[in-house]
Every structure is written in C-alpha cells, then in structure tokens.
Amino acid sequence: MFPPRESLTRVPLSTAELPPLDLSRPPWPGELVASGGVRAHVRRIPGPGEGASTAVYVHGLGGSATNWTDLAAQLAGRFAGIAVDLPGFGRSAPSAGYDFSLAAHAATVTAFVDGLGVAPVHLFGHSLGGTIALAVAAGRPDLVRSMTLISPAMPDLRPDLRRIADRRLPLTFLPFVGGRIRAQLAALTPREQAEQILRLCFVRPWLIPEHRVHEGVQEIIERDGLPYYRSALTATALGLIRSWLAPPARSLWRVASTVSVPTLVVWGAQDRVVSVRKAPRTARLLPRGRLLVLPRTGHCAQIERPVTVARAVLGMVEAVDGHQW
C-alpha cells in the first residue's frame, strides 16, 4: 500500500532563501579528524558564521561523505556541516578488530559527535546511516537537536533481485558457476560499476551530471585499491541484516519508538533498495516523526532532490523553534 496522501503534506517546507543549486561544485575538502577517541576522515562544510548549529551527515552502505555534497551546500546558510566517512568506507581506515556491526558504527558516531563539543547537532542519516542515526539518537538524545532520515535501512527482507546492483550477485554463492560469475563481476570496469549503482539508486540517472559520474568512478577506483574496503562492505552488510533479524525487543522498530528527538523521514516513492512501504510505519513509530514521500525519486533523495529535502529540513527546524513539531 502506498503511503496515505496526508503523509505527504504534514511536513512544512521552508520558504527561506537558499543558495542557487550548483551541481558543478566539487566534493567539500576532507581531512582526518580525531574526536572522542575516534579517528575519521570527514568533509567540512563552512557554516554562516561563529555560533551556528552543526549538522553531522552519515552515509549509507558503500557510500561516503561525498554523498552529501549538494544537500550540505543548500543548508550551509544555516548549519556548519561535518560529513563523516564511517570506518572502512571513504577514507576512514578501520581500527584493528573493528567488527562493523550496527552497534559498533553507532558507538563510533556517538563518540565522534560527543567529542566534537558542538552538541546537540542536527543529525542526518541515509540508508544504513539512517539506522545508525536512529541508534545514536536513542542512546544519546542529548547529542541530537533534530534528525533527518533519508530512506533509512529499516528491516526489509524482500527477496527481490531488482534491489541489487547486479542480478548475477546471488549466483556467486552457487557451486560450479559461482567462480565464473565472480570473475565476470570482477572484470567490470569502474565506469560500469558506477552506472549499475546509478540505475539502481536513481529514478532518472541520465540527469546526474557527467562530472558527478566521473567523481563516482574515481571513488570506485580509489576504494577498490584499499585493502579493507571489500571486507568492510561485506561485514557491514551482514551486520545490518543481523539487526533486521533481531527479536522484537531489540529490533530497529523498537529502537525507533524510543527516539524522542524531532525527526523528518524522507523517502523516494520509487526507492527500489528499501521499499517505501516501510515509510509510514517508520514515521508513525517515531514519537516526533513526520514523513515526506517524494515522487519520481529513488533511494538517494539528498542527491536527486537536494532543494526539496533542504526546504523540508529547514521547515522542520522552523516548526520545532516555533513549538509546532
């Protein structure tokens, strides 16, 4: 069932002036930062000046801090931004013994944010990053002023081949043919890998500027050269699935029901990775949650619809400030 129409209109959209959308902007500069006992690569987005609130952005499975380039630019007039590469992703090397579970990632983000000394922050999470943000807000609500979840990876165990980038992937586990399929996948060029991701995650991939595609290709080349990336990706995916199989008392649905901070849930109506059917339940369980479903949008609303998402975020903040959320 598609989310009811009223769920599309409960989120106020801010009319505040936003900077012109500049899709030619390169990724924000990055640096290694130590905070709260965590050493992570981050990309910093300058804010409007001293004293501005801080936004912390957490990417999804296989993603990186660069996934927030355009949305963070739209919000730079209101927030200073810090987009974090999770351990094993982007340019953040994992520490020895890091187990890549959802709990480990949440503990890492919690410690990092706490150590920054700028809390409470506006916390953003996409896909896997959304479930991490949920866990952070549930465990340390004092660190979070507001939360924005974009297609959070709530439990979704559909056996649907359309939700994976290459439909041959399940065949790699079969005897006899598995080796041949793995060799075929390994032979894909970085450009072919990037195009697969675009087709999976975006409704209209042809609208993504060529230089953004090139950035994605370069990122694939870089990450494939890292000794830890493949194992980090696999272990994190397994950790996420284990969280989906947790008993009701420890499920992500239960976690959502304990989150007290104002939360905006954004979902693409044509998300193939995490079904929009999960959207109403997610927003309903959050005590202060509201839902925005965007038509003609896939799994990455912050990239496909950065202006609308920014207006929804600012609308939430304005409503909270006015005691109307």
The band of 168, judged by pLDDT with boundaries at 50, 70 and 90, is low
pLDDT beyond 60 at 1: no
Q: How far is CA 55 from CA 238, 254, 280, 320, in A?
A: 28, 25, 25, 16
Sign of CA dihedral 218, 223, 227, 230: negative
Alpha-carbon span 71 to 54, nearest angstrom: 14
Q: What percent of the chain has pLDDT over 90?
A: 83
- Can you give the residue ranges of every domain in the chain? 5-155+230-321
pLDDT (mean) for 92-102:
96
Alpha-carbon span 149 to 172, nearest angstrom: 32
Q: Helix count (H) and strand count (E) of the chain? A: 11, 8
Pairing mode, if any, of strands 289-294 and 144-150?
unpaired
Q: Tell me which of 195 and 188 has the higher pLDDT.
A: 195
pLDDT beyond 60 at 171: no
Question: What is the CB-side half-sphere exposure of residue 33 using CA atoms within 13 A?
Answer: 21
pLDDT beyond 50 at 6: no
What is the predicted pLDDT for the residue at 43? 98
Q: What percent of the chain has pLDDT over 70?
A: 89
The tokens for 139 are: 């465990």
What is the predicted pLDDT for the residue at 4? 42
CATH 3.30.70.3040, domain 5-155+230-321, yes or no = no
What is the predicted pLDDT for the residue at 174? 55
Span of 25-34, 55-64, 159-168, 252-261 with lowest mean pLDDT: 159-168
pLDDT beyond 60 at 8: no
Q: What is the pLDDT of residues 191-239, one digit of tens each?
A: 999 998 999 999 999 999 999 999 999 999 999 899 999 899 999 999 9
Q: What is the pLDDT of residues 271-315, one digit of tens each?
A: 999 999 999 999 999 999 999 999 999 999 999 999 999 999 999
The band of 3, judged by pLDDT with boundaries at 50, 70 and 90, is very low
Q: What is the pLDDT of residues 127-166, one digit of tens each?
A: 999 999 999 999 999 999 999 999 999 998 876 656 665 4
What is the predicted pLDDT for the residue at 163? 66
| b/e 96-109 (16+ beta carbons within 10 angstroms → b) | eebebbbebbbbbb
pLDDT beyond 50 at 7: no
Count of Cβ atoms closer than 10 Å to residue 269 Cβ: 17
